[in-house]
Amino acid sequence: MSAPSIPTAELNQQLKALLQAASESFQQAASLRDLYDLKVRYLGKNGSFSNLMREMAKLSKEERPTFGQAVNEAKAKLEGNYAICETRLTNAEVLTRLTAEKLDMTLPGPVVPNGATHPIYSVTREICSILARLGYAVRTGPMIEKNRYNFEALNIPEDHPARDMQDTFYIDREHVLRTHTSPIQIHVLENEAPPLRVIGFGAVFRRDSDVSHLPNFHQIEGLLVDEKVSMADLKGTISFFVRELFGADLKTRFRPSFFPFTEPSAEVDCSCPVCRGKGCALCKDSGWIEIGGSGLVNPNVFKAAGVEYPRWKGFAFGFGVERMAIIKYGINDIRLFPENDLRFLRQFT
């Protein structure tokens, strides 16, 4: 056994000095970050205390345990000091942050403007929900249609005025931007088996533009196919839905008319919601406003779509959605709908 080359007293002195220096530097640490660095320096694996521990080898076997215990006690003490400094610095840092991030609860919050549903969409949704109560399901179709769907299958012959260049936007020889939602009827008749109750809606396009016409407007289309269908069913359904949409006091009127895809056909008017029939600018003094067309499905349409006739019969109707929104909200210029002027749209929030 080798004699100790360092007396215990000297190592104890070093230990005491180290503890003192470490404690003082912990106390002087200006931030948590600095404090942590100091902890590594003194208490880390290669820190000062570990180095001192290594010196223990130079002590006699008898002296080692006593010194080891002294080192461990000093370390424990220092760790306690560390914890105290850590709490103090944490509190100080939180306080600094809280002061810097001080919230003024009395400040007004940021203003997030409320969006509004576009009146065309509101009316469409309302019509769909009224007709859903009568068992109608919603269908849509393409805006670019084949001539066959927009015209031929709807019994609109080649020389019909609706095909005139003035009304139709042509895409190419075979395709047009649909001029009405009636082609949805053909898609439904081709793809679904009767009995049927469907509504189709969407944008339609015509070469037309003035106070009461838009080149791009919206229609809603109804189609019912069953074994026994009459004009009385058609009138009952439309009168019901006009009353539900506009109010019980508005009357519905049917005028004989012509559409290639219906026979007989009727135009539908409803009493003017502004003057209640007395006569005003909106109804051009007639007391009535035209809202769309209707009729019993022409057998030629059934034939074109491959539906058995006279086993199946049907009625159909098509309404302009802008027209109905004008009536419902008392709007005096159809061009307000596509303009998206916020002063107009905000009135519907």
* Residues that bind ligand DAH in the complex, under the rule CB under 6 A: 180, 182, 221, 259, 262, 292-295, 316-318
Cβ count within 10 A of residue 53: 16
Cβ closest to ligand DAH, residue 273 vs residue 318: 318
Question: With respect to ligand DAH, which residue has the nearer C-beta, 47 or 314?
Answer: 314
Other Cβ atoms closer than 10 A to 105: 4
The three-state secondary structure class of 324 is helix
Q: How near is the Cβ of 155 to ligand DAH at its closest, in Å?
A: 11
Q: Which is nearer to ligand DAH, 49 or 136 (CB)?
A: 136
Closest distance of CB 223 from ligand DAH, Å: 7
Q: How far is the CB of 273 from ligand DAH (least distance, A)?
A: 21
Q: Closest approach of Cβ 184 to ligand DAH, in Å?
A: 9
H or E, element range at 224: strand 216-226
Cα separation, 189 vs 148, in Å, equals 14
Beta strands per DSSP E along 279-329: 288-297, 313-320
Q: Which C-beta is closer to ligand DAH: that of 19 or that of 297?
A: 297
CA 174 to CA 155: how far, in whole Å? 16
Q: How far is the C-alpha of 59 from the C-alpha of 65, rounded, in Å?
A: 10
Q: One-letter amino acid identity for 79?
A: E
Chain position carrying tokens 């080359």 = 5
User: Which of 23, 182 has the CB closer to ligand DAH?
Assistant: 182
Least Å distance, CB 230 to ligand DAH, is 14
